[in-house]
Amino acid sequence: MTAFTDRDLDILRRLAGRMIPASAEYGVPGADDEAIFADIVRTLAPAAGTLSPLPARLADAEPDAADPALRPILTAVMLCYYRDDRVLVSLGVEPRPPFPKGFEVEEGDWSLLDPVRARPRLWRDAGRM
Can you tell me the distance from the alpha carbon of 88 to that of 125, in angstroms, rounded to the nearest whole number? 52
Residue 104 Cβ vs another protein, minimum distance, rounded to whole Å: 7
Identify whether 95 is preceded by a cis peptide bond (ω within 30 of 0): no
By CB under 8 A, name the one of 3, 5, 21, 69 that touches another protein. Answer: 21
Contact flag: residue 78 with another protein (CB under 8 A):
yes
The answer to whether the beta carbons of residues 82 and 28 sit under 8 Å apart is: no
Can you tell me the distance from the alpha carbon of 43 to that of 30, in angstroms, rounded to the nearest whole number? 17
From the CB of residue 2, how many other CB atoms can be counted at a distance below 10 Å? 14
Residue 91 Cβ vs another protein, minimum distance, rounded to whole Å: 6
Contact flag: residue 97 with another protein (CB under 8 A):
yes
Contact flag: residue 24 with another protein (CB under 8 A):
no
Residues binding another protein (CB under 8 A): 18-21, 23, 25-26, 28, 43, 62-65, 74-75, 78-79, 81-83, 87-88, 91-93, 95-110, 112-113, 115-117, 119-129
